[in-house]
Amino acid sequence: MKRSLVPSSAGDAVRALLRPNVDALRAAGIEDSALNAYQNRVDRGVKGWMHAASAQGDLLLATSDAEATTAEGLHALRQLGADLGGILAKNKLRHVALDAQPAALTVAEGLALNAYRYTKLFGTKAKDQWTLEQLDVVGSDSAEFATWNALMDGVTEARDLINTPVLQLGSLELAARAEQLGAQHGFKCTVLHKAQIEALKMGGLLGVNKGSVDPPVFIVLEYRGEGAKADQPIALVGKGVVYDTGGISLKPSNFMEDMKCDMSGAAAVLGTFCAVAAAKLPVNVVGLIPATDNRLNGNALVPGDVITISNGVTVEVLNTDAEGRLILADALHYAKKYQPKLVIDLATLTGAASRAIGPYATVAMGTADRATWDALQASAGMTHERLVEFPFWDDYKELIKSDIADIKNIGGAEAGMITAGKFLEYFIDYPYVHLDIAGPAFLDRAITYYGKGGTGVGVRLLTHFLTAQSRA
């Protein structure tokens, strides 16, 4: 999808106009016949977009008095944009000029998110797939548009990565793409390969990789924008399991088919770096992505094995399908070298998180102070990438005690999302936020602005949060 800023709608684009009320539509030059028809719909309680024919061509009209300054208003405006995307798809319209006042970019965001399609792997049926080829946004500030466009590019990149099967995107391909994105957007990317990972004694990443024919990689991203404060960085850590069979603790087939999405945390970190660097935000941020697949062969970890993480903590592996926390452990320990003021990890970590709150929000927990949580929750509200804070009491450490090692990698049937977080706490010494995105990362049906597949959850949240931090 090409996105452009235009001074007015013109050419063969379908025009979509949104105003606060009918009088504002009239002031925009809409004909009385169309306005009367629209008013009749409003009087009947019908909401949303209306198609109207006019002398200027096809029109889509809507009104909304939602405020673009509140979380609720922003969500309502994005949802209007998403609804517009549904209409365009249904009617196979490929070019739209969106004239939405006063919140053009908010409505355009909902439209762009809804109109996303992953079509790269279609062959003979490629020509039959609908895509929104051109989105023209009328009358927005050029600097604001550029920042918004960078964000949409970041979300799109994350979704493309998540939706790409492991045959096309293994660990090495993910690393190569990270290097390409760094060169394109202006952030540093360093890829550590297996020999370097072995030298760092990353037993979690190496252990999970034992069942794979493809080597692991550890991807390090660094960005310091011009004007960034000369202080400690914020580190973002993303789980990069490019495919998860469960290993020896094999998943049932109906739980495995979507496991290309188990690198959604890594995709969110990469997408955030694309957005932040392209927008030239004055922030200091580090990204860490441990990447491997989790498969099984004669050398794979088996339940009962004990591995040693890079900080010396030994882990009894009772379930090889609880592998994400093992590779994150090495990454969280590695983050200490930066003396970060905050570390946020994102991972499709537990089914327990998804069962607890479904696809509507992210499970969150950690050791960060209240001011950090308040800032994150503010960003979560404004982006509608909502967070539900779970307790992080030390009581839960009792559930991951091992008889033969320092800790074990599962805690039983109770509070699985919290015991996973408490496991990760063994590898930190800094303010920490753990985001379990298992619920919203990959959808089996359309929800709010998103269709089926990868959502890129985390990119919009973190970009908003980092933007706010840069202004604090």
Residue 413 burial by CB count (10 A; 0-12/13-18/19+): exposed, middle or buried? exposed
- Whether the pLDDT of residue 438 is over 90: the answer is yes
The mean of the pLDDT values for the chain is: 96
> Rounded CA gap, 164 and 168, in Å?
7
Mean pLDDT of 302-325: 98
Q: Cite the DSSP H helix spans in 117-190.
A: 142-163, 171-185
Long-range contacts of 6-13 (CB under 8 A, 24+ apart): 6/97, 6/136, 6/137, 6/138, 6/139, 7/138, 7/139, 8/99, 8/138, 8/139, 9/97, 9/99, 9/136, 9/138, 10/97, 11/95, 11/97, 12/95, 13/95, 13/96, 13/97, 13/134, 13/136
Q: At 52, is the pLDDT very low, low, confident or very high (cuts 50, 70, 90)?
A: confident
End-to-end Cα separation, the chain, in angstroms:
34
- Whether the pLDDT of residue 55 is over 80: the answer is no
Mean pLDDT of 231-246: 97
Q: At 429, is the pLDDT very low, low, confident or very high (cuts 50, 70, 90)?
A: very high
> Rounded CA gap, 49 and 62, in Å?
5
User: Could you give the residue numbers annotated as active site?
Assistant: 251, 325
CB 208 within 8 A of CB 297: no
Of the listed ranges 4-18, 198-212, 415-429, the least confidently predicted one is 4-18
pLDDT tens for each residue of 330-372: 999 999 999 999 999 999 999 999 999 999 999 999 999 999 9
Please tell me the predicted confidence (pLDDT) of residue 223: 98
CB atoms within 10 A of CB 253: 8
- Whether the pLDDT of residue 84 is over 90: the answer is yes
Please tell me the predicted confidence (pLDDT) of residue 404: 98
What letter does residue 252 receive in the DSSP assignment? P
CB 221 within 8 A of CB 286: yes
Please tell me the predicted confidence (pLDDT) of residue 290: 99
pTM for the structure as a whole = 0.97
Please tell me the predicted confidence (pLDDT) of residue 280: 96
Query: Whose structure tokens read 């960078």?
Result: 150
CB 417 within 8 A of CB 353: yes
Mean pLDDT of 112-116: 98
> Rounded CA gap, 49 and 47, in Å?
7
> Rounded CA gap, 110 and 119, in Å?
20
Q: At 9, is the pLDDT very low, low, confident or very high (cuts 50, 70, 90)?
A: confident
Please tell me the predicted confidence (pLDDT) of residue 88: 96
Please tell me the predicted confidence (pLDDT) of residue 152: 98
Q: Which helix (H) or strand (E) holds 424?
A: helix 416-425
Helix and strand tally (H, E) in the chain? 14, 20
Please tell me the predicted confidence (pLDDT) of residue 102: 84
Chain mean position to CA 232: 24
Q: At 200, is the pLDDT very low, low, confident or very high (cuts 50, 70, 90)?
A: very high
Cis peptide before 216 (omega within 30 of 0): no
Q: At 54, is the pLDDT very low, low, confident or very high (cuts 50, 70, 90)?
A: confident
Torsion sign over Cα 401, 403, 407, 411: negative
CB 323 within 8 A of CB 411: no
Of 301, 290, 268, the C-alpha closest to 215 is 290
CB 255 within 8 A of CB 227: no
CB 442 within 8 A of CB 261: yes
Q: At 64, is the pLDDT very low, low, confident or very high (cuts 50, 70, 90)?
A: very high
Please tell me the predicted confidence (pLDDT) of residue 58: 82
Torsion sign over Cα 86, 8, 71, 436: positive
pLDDT tens for each residue of 140-164: 789 999 999 999 999 999 999 999 9
Please report how many Cα atoms fall inside a 13 Å half-sphere around the Cα of residue 64, on the Cβ side: 28
